[in-house]
């Protein structure tokens, strides 16, 4: 069931299977932004409706990174809205970037993008570090994926973190090595992002419960523990 986190911010609870199922979010600042989409057939249309929205209401989609549990649900919606993806992951999806076969996640992505590709009808737009998309700023945060991107809505004090961090048992934690390209780079991204965003009230990870209140302090605490 969709859960309101703050004014204009909704959690779409699609992660019935921990780790392998991911959250999605809606941010409504006068324009309706869907952030990530969960697994295929995980219930995105009904969760969107539970929050009071129809696919036709969505003005844009922000994808934090290409993983099946973050983009698969886009196949369940008839969308007429641009889909913004970090540059390197957009190239991965388009076949312009081939990750190494000998890397555990690279090999997985080479197979996964054939099995769960983004619908060809979607208007996929690469997004660069620092680029503004509506009320959001994109932050390139590589490590989990080469093109992983976090989106911050400064006016609302909300950070959509994707798999930059996970939440488990009340704590923020980095994703596991087996689900990431480069753990050292991931840790650097966490520390860098925590230092750049000192005033986030709400932080929304792709896995686990969002932090509502004091989000930046929680990120800073994680950065210090790495």
Neighbouring C-alpha atoms within 13 Å toward the C-beta of 19: 10
Q: Which of 173, 184, 179, 183 lies closest to 208 in space, CA to CA?
A: 173
Confidence of residue 15 (pLDDT cuts 50, 70, 90): confident
What confidence score (pLDDT) does residue 23 get? 96
Confidence of residue 17 (pLDDT cuts 50, 70, 90): low
Query: b/e for 21-57, b at 16 or more Cβ within 10 A?
Result: bbbbbbbbbeebbbbbbbbeebbbbebbeebebebee
What confidence score (pLDDT) does residue 19 get? 58
Domains of the chain: 3-225 (3.60.15.10)
Q: Which residue is listed with tokens 């230092």?
A: 195
Query: b/e for 109-141, b at 16 or more Cβ within 10 A?
Result: bbebbeebebeeebebebbeeebebbbbbbbbb
Indicate the pairing of strand 9-12 with strand 24-28: antiparallel
Q: What digits encode the pLDDT tens for the residues 35-81?
A: 999 999 999 999 999 999 999 999 999 999 999 999 999 999 999 99
- C-alpha–C-alpha distance, residues 146 and 125, integer Å: 16
What is the pTM assigned to this prediction?
A: 0.97
Confidence of residue 18 (pLDDT cuts 50, 70, 90): low
Q: What digits encode the pLDDT tens for the residues 107-159?
A: 999 999 999 888 889 999 999 999 999 999 999 999 999 999 999 999 999 99
Q: What digits encode the pLDDT tens for the residues 185-209?
A: 999 999 999 998 889 999 999 999 9
């Amino acid at each position: 069931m969709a859960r309101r986190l703050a004014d204009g911010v909704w959690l779409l609870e699609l992660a019935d299977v921990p780790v392998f199922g991911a959250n999605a979010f809606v941010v409504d600042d006068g324009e309706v932004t869907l952030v990530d989409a969960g697994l295929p057939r995980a219930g995105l249309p009904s969760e969107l409706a539970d929050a009071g929205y129809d696919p036709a209401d969505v003005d844009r989609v922000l994808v934090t990174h290409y993983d099946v549990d973050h983009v698969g649900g886009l196949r369940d919606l008839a969308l007429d809205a641009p889909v913004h993806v970090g540059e390197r992951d957009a190239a991965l999806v388009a076949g312009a970037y081939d990750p190494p076969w000998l890397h555990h996640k690279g090999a997985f992505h080479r197979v996964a993008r054939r099995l769960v590709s983004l619908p060809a009808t979607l208007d996929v737009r690469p997004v660069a570090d620092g680029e503004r998309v509506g009320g959001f700023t994109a932050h390139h945060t590589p490590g989990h994926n080469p093109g992983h991107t976090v989106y911050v809505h400064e006016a609302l004090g909300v950070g959509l973190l994707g798999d930059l961090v996970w939440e488990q048992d009340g704590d923020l934690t980095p994703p596991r090595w087996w689900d990431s390209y480069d753990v050292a780079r991931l840790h650097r991204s966490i520390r860098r992002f925590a230092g750049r965003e000192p005033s986030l009230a709400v932080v929304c990870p792709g896995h686990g419960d969002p932090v509502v209140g004091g989000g930046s302090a929680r990120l800073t605490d994680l950065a210090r523990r790495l």
